Amino acid sequence: MKRLFTLIATLLVVLSQADAKEWSAQWIMAQNTPTKSKLLTNTWYCFHKSVELPAIGSQSVYADIAVDSKYWMWINGEMVVFEGQLKRGPSPRDTYYDHVDITSYLNEGRNDIAILVWYFGNHGNSHNSSGKPALLFDCQAEGFTILSDNTWSATYYAAYEQTRGTQPNERLAEGNIRFNAQREAEGWTAKGATPSFAKAVEVGKAGYEPWNNLIKRPIPFWKDSGLVEYESIEQQESGDYIVYTCHLPYNCHVTPWFDIEASAGEVIHIQTDNYMGGSYPNLRSEYVTRQGSQQYESLGWINGHAIIYRIPKGIKVNSLRYRETGFNTEFTGTFSCDDDFFNRFWQKAARTLYVTMRDTYMDCPDRERAQWWGDVVIEQGEAFYALDTRSHTLTYKGILELMNWQRADGTIFSPCPSGRFYKEYPSQMLASVGYYGFYTYYLYSGDDSFIPVVYDRIHRYLHDVWQMDSDGLVIHRKGGSNWGDWGDNIDIELLLNCWYYLALQAEREFALMLDKQSDLEMIEAKMAGMRQSFNRRYWTGKEYRSPKYKETTDDRAQAMAVLAGFAPEEYYPAILEVLKREYHASPYMEKYIDEALFRMGYADYALERARKRFDAMVNHPTLTTLWEGWRIGDDDFGGGTINHAWSGGMLTLLSQYVVGISPVEAGFKEFRVAPQMGTLNRAEASFDTHYGTIRASLLRHDGSIDLRLTVPEGTIAHLTVDGEPRTYRSGEHHITLTE
């Protein structure tokens, strides 16, 4: 019965995402699809349809398209979608689909549709493979339909082969790409093409297993730079090869391209300078030449600061270029101050944030591309201050995914979607559903639509899975991993109590919004019990420490006790002394330590500690992104990638605390400006909200701060001026603040 309840609840959450579309198309596959699962992995397929259409008229025509795993589509020879389809997993059973406007690509008369499908056939930490490489295409317009069925033609694309040698690590769903141009199906995507593929095979209606319910893509299609020139290119002889090191402007997602003249059978090797990022092999590609002139783009994105081509001597290289793609958002947020260290930190953090966004938020774009929720919590906070409001959709998607993957026993876990990883990391899960996770998304975005959808599942996790002891504190549970952070000296019992209390804070707000009175009484009783017992058990008189914890004092635990609201002001000086001598947190938890320092009013030391901790990253002369750990490639930090957005939490704090802008009412309908400039004399920030751009600039002189503030239409700013609360409505304001 318990399992039945969970399955029903999951179905209700998924159906809340589904629209009312009536599907008519059939899932189709190629007749020559390999039958052995081992041979299916990392394979490519061509689908083609020629169709006669009447005049389109003034209507808009959309195609709803789903595949496992990715696709590229041409209509009448023109590229329509470059890398469509989201990695599979809105729930453990279901599949996303794309809603594509094809109006401008269709003509009266003959139209040719060509779709190239890449089937991963592998779960990794970011994808849930269906086990079948199929296509669904459903276009229903006034006067005509275009539906995938057995009138389409399809083939297994043998030009895409398997690389030998080192393969990607098991965390990646994607495989290496090897394209043999001698086996290319030339011209099959062109207008008027008549490829000699066999008839496609119908394998089930929309809604059938293994693809099940179809959920509309909730995030934008990728931003696409088109093919562009590299910043610079170096070349060097290496045996039988010329190695071209092609420098990118920054760490980004790219698909490499070349134009060459060659004899047949030569092999070109392509990878990034970041191929071993995170200490494990990532993705690379190979190209086998045909005779003559040829152009090629390796379609699976890779990331780094440079693309490295190993091209056999004798091949004439006409051009080397790349295409940057990424999440379709803009860097509309800004920050600057009179300390260039923090300007550079902000820029590197923003770049790191962007390179860890795509199908989901990712821990890193190289080693595993996985939606770890400890990372997501920090990434979403950065996005609110750095990116436009389209970025909000990625958190919304992640929230629904996390709760749709809840297990029968009530536990939740990440990364998900994933068909291979099922361990619950309790500290990350409490962070996700809590104040810094789901509640921050609501408070900053103003979007409350997800709350009634996931509330009961949050409640189940917090009250069925977690239990309290006789003192009203959380009973320590390891879940799938006792992980609390990278590094040593982790007081996990204390940390879990803080994370749990912050989760109750968020649930309390949601219960108020939904008028869950009985839940509210229980939540508030638990919170009161924790407040009564926490300091009695964990405060020693000079620091926070669990009775059973025997290691060096944990800096993380001091910070989390402050942020959860357990530490009264009289403890602050002692906590400050602990934070001046203990440095155990990874860059992930360092964000919360710096925030606690601001929360206690120690802005000077918050800036000093951040400068000390992040010095090597910010001052690195060539890397444009922040690292997973304090050192690169260090096993103490999971392998130590060079691009981990969890390290950028100070970006949030610079806008939220230094310039001092934070929401009072959801979506910044009302917001507070309470600057803590610390040792800075000038600071300014701006960022987008759904109401418009909030902008504040601060200039310190003669014991006062000159504030220039932009308040968007429909919003209210709250400040304290000369000790008195003031409100400012929309417009431009010039205010003097006394320190």
Pair (494, 346) in one structural domain? yes
Pair (197, 261) in one structural domain? no
21: phi > 0 → left, psi -120 to 50 → alpha, else beta; which?
beta
Please answer whether residues 438 and 492 qualify as being in contact, where contact means their C-beta atoms are separated by less than 8 angstroms.
no
700-716: per-residue pLDDT in tens?
Answer: 998 899 999 999 999 99
User: Is the pLDDT at 7 greater than 70, yes or no?
Assistant: no
Among 267, 272, 318, 322, residue whose Cα is nearest residue 299: 322
50 within a domain of the structure (yes/no): yes
341-369: per-residue pLDDT in tens?
Answer: 999 999 999 999 999 999 999 999 999 99
665 within a domain of the structure (yes/no): no
Return the pLDDT at 14.
54
Domain containing residue 15: CATH number: 2.60.120.260
Pair (199, 347) in one structural domain? no
> How does the average pLDDT of the chain come out, rounded?
96
Written as six digits, the tokens of 276 are 């071993």
Per-residue confidence band for 37, with pLDDT thresholds at 50, 70 and 90: confident
220 within a domain of the structure (yes/no): no
130-140: per-residue pLDDT in tens?
Answer: 999 999 999 99
Pair (321, 340) in one structural domain? no
Please answer whether residues 661 and 651 qualify as being in contact, where contact means their C-beta atoms are separated by less than 8 angstroms.
no
528 within a domain of the structure (yes/no): yes
Per-residue confidence band for 574, with pLDDT thresholds at 50, 70 and 90: very high
User: Is the pLDDT at 9 greater than 70, yes or no?
Assistant: no
Pair (305, 437) in one structural domain? no
Pair (282, 355) in one structural domain? no
Pair (569, 648) in one structural domain? yes
Written as six digits, the tokens of 98 are 């794309």
Percent of the chain with pLDDT over 70: 97
Average pLDDT over residues 369-396: 99
10-19: per-residue pLDDT in tens?
Answer: 555 555 556 6
Describe the strand order of the beta sheet including 670-673 as a list of residue ranges.
661-665, 670-673, 716-721, 724-728
Q: Which of 658, 673, 707 is the last residue of a domain?
A: 658
Average pLDDT over residues 563-580: 99
Say which residues have a Cβ less than 8 Å from residue 239's Cβ, sequence separation at least 6.
none
Per-residue confidence band for 722, with pLDDT thresholds at 50, 70 and 90: confident
Q: Which of 658, 693, 710 is the last residue of a domain?
A: 658
Output the CA torsion sign for 360, 365, 369, 370: negative
Return the pLDDT at 17.
58
Domain containing residue 531: CATH number: 1.50.10.10
Return the pLDDT at 4.
39
The domain in which residue 285 lies consists of 225-326
Strand pairing partners for 699? 682, 706
Please answer whether residues 251 and 280 qualify as being in contact, where contact means their C-beta atoms are separated by less than 8 angstroms.
no
Return the pLDDT at 289.
99
Query: Which H or E run contains 664?
Result: strand 661-665
Strand pairing partners for 52? 110
* Backbone φ and ψ of 134, nearest 5°: -130, 165
Pair (322, 338) in one structural domain? no
Average pLDDT over residues 73-96: 99
Say which residues have a Cβ less than 8 Å from residue 325's Cβ, sequence separation at least 6.
82, 83, 222, 223, 224, 225, 253, 254, 255, 301
User: Is the pLDDT at 543 greater than 70, yes or no?
Assistant: yes
342 within a domain of the structure (yes/no): yes
144 within a domain of the structure (yes/no): yes
Among 493, 490, 491, 497, residue whose Cα is nearest residue 472: 497
Average pLDDT over residues 45-49: 99
- CA angle, corner 465, sides to 460 and 466, nearest 5? 110
Among 122, 151, 154, residue whose Cα is nearest residue 135: 154
User: How would DSSP label each residue in 319-380?
Assistant: EEEEEEEE-S-----EEEES-HHHHHHHHHHHHHHHHTBSSSB-S-TTTT----HHHHHHHH
Average pLDDT over residues 445-467: 98
Written as six digits, the tokens of 401 are 């995914």
Q: What is the DSSP letter of 231?
A: S
218 within a domain of the structure (yes/no): no
User: Is the pLDDT at 177 greater than 70, yes or no?
Assistant: yes
17 within a domain of the structure (yes/no): yes
User: How would DSSP label each residue in 146-189?
Assistant: EE-STTSEEEE-TTEEPPPS----TT-S---EEEEGGG--TTTT
Average pLDDT over residues 633-656: 90
Cα separations in angstroms, 621 against 277, 640, 644: 18, 18, 18
Q: Which of 326, 343, 378 is the last residue of a domain?
A: 326
Please count the other Cβ atoms lying within 10 Å of the Cβ belonging to residue 728.
17
Pair (312, 349) in one structural domain? no
Per-residue confidence band for 639, with pLDDT thresholds at 50, 70 and 90: confident
User: Is the pLDDT at 5 greater than 80, yes or no?
Assistant: no
Cα separations in angstroms, 733 against 463, 695, 709: 47, 10, 5
Please count the other Cβ atoms lying within 10 Å of the Cβ belonging to residue 391.
28
Return the pLDDT at 739.
84
User: Is the pLDDT at 3 greater than 50, yes or no?
Assistant: no
d(CA 315, CA 309) in angstroms, rounded, equals: 12
Average pLDDT over residues 629-643: 84
Pair (698, 652) in one structural domain? no
3-state secondary structure 701-712: ECCEEEEEEEEC
Pair (609, 479) in one structural domain? yes
Return the pLDDT at 637.
74
Per-residue confidence band for 540, with pLDDT thresholds at 50, 70 and 90: very high
Pair (621, 545) in one structural domain? yes
- CA angle, corner 20, sides to 17 and 21, nearest 5? 110
Return the pLDDT at 1.
35
d(CA 63, CA 54) in angstroms, rounded, equals: 17
For the chain, the domain total comes to 4
Please answer whether residues 258 and 294 qualify as being in contact, where contact means their C-beta atoms are separated by less than 8 angstroms.
no
